[in-house]
Amino acid sequence: MIRHAKAGILFRHGLRRVSFLICLGIGGALFSATLIRFAPGYGVQERELDPRWSAKSVEALRQEQVLHEGLASFYFHYLSALAHGDLGESESLKRPVRELLAQRFPLTGSAIVRGLGVAWLAATLLASLGLASRGWFYEASGTAVSSLLLSLPSAVIAMLAVHLRAPTFCAISVVVFPRLHRYMRSLLLRSYDQPHVLAARARGLGGVSIFWRHVLPLATPPLFALLGVSFAIAFGAAIPIEALCDSPGLGQLAWQAALSRDLPLIVNVTLIVCLVMLAANALADLAGRAFAGDTQ
């Protein structure tokens, strides 16, 4: 009965999250449309700047543009196109944004998943080792390495990766690792210092058993939240890393779009990334809640 009630609460929470995502998607799309519509240079064709075209022809060209459309009509066309999966056309690459996203997203997704996998593995291992040893040397060296990596711009890490011919995911993991390690270490230490863990230790329970039975269950829900956040960190790091490592992913696409002021492309890429991030955060939140519900 209680299990059913908990499942019901989780389902309602999930439903709320999904409806929030849908509302946000619509709001984000409208906002994106506004940015594109009111950006300087909207509706201006390169041909208009060509002095060989007469004033009359330029005026005729302008008439062809959607610029003269009313705002409501513009929004309607934008949203209806979006509903049909049409995200517009990239001004710089002269290709549909949807096609570009379909081509680039898997590459970035794969690099991010692999990078996060390596970073999580390394951070978990080192934080657990630190918990086991709790010596000053480990603490000092761990803090020094984390601080050093945190002080390096991700673009410098990307340039190092280029120099060392390391794959993109390695650079992503180096950017994400110190943030994960720092948070995970303090979280595990806090869980380890709880009174019930102290009592278990006093009763002579083994270190591994304490870790799996008492420390990890306590730390897992915040770790799920950290998983959601780490996706955002990895996506952010993907821009300089892909741009400098010449990896044709979403980050490089966003950078190229920003450099060429390709607004339909950058705005739609950002909208999609935002929705993916929110979905990842919602999933992480639900997983954390489900786990916390099971352990309580």
Q: Is 170 in the site for another protein (CB under 8 A)?
A: no
Nearer to another protein, 125 or 148 (CB): 148
Q: Is 87 in the site for another protein (CB under 8 A)?
A: no
The DSSP-derived string for the chain is: -HHHHHHHHHHHHHHHHHHHHHHHHHHHHHHHHHHHHHSTTTT--GGGG-TTS-HHHHHHHHHHSGGGS-HHHHHHHHHHHHHTT---B-TTT-SBHHHHHHHHHHHHHHHHHHHHHHHHHHHHHHHHHHHHH--HHHHHHHHHHHHHHHTS-HHHHHHHHHHHT--HHHHHHHHHHHHHHHHHHHHHHHHHTSHHHHHHHHTT--HHHHIIIIIHHHHHHHHHHHHHHHHHHHHHHHHHHHHHHT--SHHHHHHHHHHTT-HHHHHHHHHHHHHHHHHHHHHHHHHHHHHHHHH-
Nearer to another protein, 95 or 261 (CB): 261
CB of 61 to another protein, least distance (A): 23
Among 221, 240, 249, 288, binds another protein (CB under 8 A): 240
Among 243, 245, 247, 288, binds another protein (CB under 8 A): 243
Q: Which residue, among 97, 125, 28, has the nearest Cα to 253 in the 3D structure?
A: 97
Q: Is 26 in the site for another protein (CB under 8 A)?
A: no
- The answer to whether residues 81 and 91 touch, using CB atoms and an 8 Å cutoff, is no
CB of 289 to another protein, least distance (A): 16
Among 227, 267, 284, 288, binds another protein (CB under 8 A): 267
Among 179, 278, 284, 288, binds another protein (CB under 8 A): 278
Nearer to another protein, 211 or 235 (CB): 235
Q: Which of residues 149-168 bind another protein (CB under 8 A)?
A: 150-156, 159-160, 162-163
Nearer to another protein, 39 or 67 (CB): 39
Q: Is 188 in the site for another protein (CB under 8 A)?
A: no
Query: Which of these ranges, 60-68, 80-88, 212-220, 261-269, lies near another protein under the rule CB under 8 A?
Result: 261-269
Q: Which of residues 120-149 bind another protein (CB under 8 A)?
A: 147-148
Among 270, 286, 289, 292, binds another protein (CB under 8 A): 270
Sort 216 into a burial class: Cβ within 10 Å, 0-12 / 13-18 / 19+. middle
Nearer to another protein, 186 or 295 (CB): 186
Contacts to another protein by CB under 8 A: 24, 35, 39-40, 147-148, 150-156, 159-160, 162-163, 232-233, 235-237, 239-240, 243-244, 254-255, 257-259, 261-263, 266-267, 269-270, 273-274, 277-278, 281
